[in-house]
Homo-oligomer: A and B are copies of this chain.
Amino acid sequence: MVVVMKRGFTPEQLETAVRAMEAGGVRVMVSTGTETTILGAEGNAAGIDQEKISLLPGVDRVMRVTEPFKKANRKYHLDNTVIGLGSGAQVGGGKLAVIAGPCSVESEEQIECVAMAVKKSGASALRGGAYKPRTSPYAFQGLQKDGIALLQHARAQTGLPIVTEIMSTDNIEMFEMCVDVIQVGARNMQNFDLLKQLGKTTKPILLKRGLSSTIEEWLMSAEYIMAGGNGKVILCERGIRTFENYTRNTLDLSAVPVVKSLSHLPVVVDPSHGCGRAWMVEPMALAAIAAGADGLIIEVHNDPSNALCDGAQSLTPAQFQSLMDKLEPLAGCVGRTL
């Protein structure tokens, strides 16, 4: 922790600041520059309330020098975390995880058809929305409980673990019983009440990055889940909001190497939501793996032009197969297998 004094501070103000830091259990080194004087904490500064120090008279600002996330931090956990998704599939190791399926579960025929197709193409897990976050209260809100049942049925048929989004703490018990990986959507990334309760579950959590979340805030949301006792957090980059409107969001692939450097947790990429256009999914999926992602989450629909949700960004099973064919040699170029 570093404290920068204001120009023209008084000796009394300096002493007050030093004492406040010392009261937090550190020794303080004073460096006197021509324009600024700075105070450095020697020892463990974790017990000091930085905001309180920043409000003292004569103090200009306090600069943090360590990351605020601990359990998610690679500094304290050097090896990559590998997380089992169910049925033997994993994410975070040498083999890429590809989670595929429709935006929404719509019917038994639909989910069966898509599940069998993506299984055949080599997907690791099946995704499908049962509870849907929609901007409009008048839009289709998902099949809800019936959707979960249809996903379980598809799992029984294909053996693929199922990944689906939770929207309410009311459903945690049911999700823990029925699904393999619980997804937290971008809009709920800072629904702290939900994160806390998911910290008490035993299932892997796929945590999407919020539309305007910094990488640090995203890792702090992972920290909420981990602090509750559940270390199985899979991070998912799905595009951030910028001024550019041609794409639905701006897929931030540079977040992949950054997260792999700051944290030991696995990171996957969702090019379907990131771009919002089916024809962009293939190049951006290839780019994500080239950038070092541990896997992908891809929307696949048997009949995109009749999808109840997000048809514009869904691949057909044939397009998905074609993507998988291209992914395999590319994965080899970055030391991975499909």
| A258 touching B241 in the complex, CB below 8 Å, given contacts A7-B75, A212-B212, A291-B283 | no
| In the complex, A1 has a CB within 8 A of chain B | yes
Residues of chain B lying within 8 A (CB to CB) of residue A286: 290-291, 333-334
Residues of chain B lying within 8 A (CB to CB) of residue A169: 168-170
* B187 and A167 within 8 A (CB): no
| In the complex, A51 has a CB within 8 A of chain B | yes
| In the complex, A42 has a CB within 8 A of chain B | yes
Measured between alpha carbons, how far is A75 from B56 in the docked complex, in Å? Answer: 20
* B245 and A214 within 8 A (CB): yes
Measured between alpha carbons, how far is A191 from B168 in the docked complex, in Å? Answer: 9
| A223 touching B137 in the complex, CB below 8 Å, given contacts A193-B168, A244-B240, A311-B51 | yes
Measured between alpha carbons, how far is A190 from B36 in the docked complex, in Å? Answer: 29
| A133 touching B196 in the complex, CB below 8 Å, given contacts A63-B63, A240-B242 | no
Residues of chain B lying within 8 A (CB to CB) of residue A211: 212
Q: How many residues of A contact B (CB 8 A)?
A: 104
| In the complex, A250 has a CB within 8 A of chain B | yes
Number of copies: 4
Query: Which residues, 139 to 188 on A, are CB-close (under 8 Å) to B?
Result: 167-170, 187-188
| In the complex, A217 has a CB within 8 A of chain B | yes
Contact of A220 (CB < 8 Å), options: B28, B135, B224, B305: B135
| In the complex, A318 has a CB within 8 A of chain B | no
Residues of chain B lying within 8 A (CB to CB) of residue A250: 240, 242, 250, 252, 254
Residues of chain B lying within 8 A (CB to CB) of residue A210: 212
Chain A residues near B (Cβ < 8 Å): 1-2, 4, 7, 26, 28-36, 38, 40-45, 51-52, 54-56, 63, 65-66, 68, 75, 133-138, 167-170, 187-188, 190-193, 196, 210-212, 214-217, 220, 223-224, 227-228, 240-247, 250-258, 261, 274-275, 279-280, 283-284, 286-292, 304-307, 310-312, 326, 329-330, 332-334
| A38 touching B136 in the complex, CB below 8 Å, given contacts A45-B33, A244-B214, A330-B330 | no
Residues of chain B lying within 8 A (CB to CB) of residue A216: 246
Residues of chain B lying within 8 A (CB to CB) of residue A304: 55
Measured between alpha carbons, how far is A40 from B289 in the docked complex, in Å? Answer: 41
- Which 9 pairs show the lowest CB-CB distances between chains A and B? A31-B40, A212-B212, A55-B305, A290-B290, A287-B291, A187-B190, A286-B290, A29-B31, A287-B287
Measured between alpha carbons, how far is A44 from B288 in the docked complex, in Å? Answer: 42
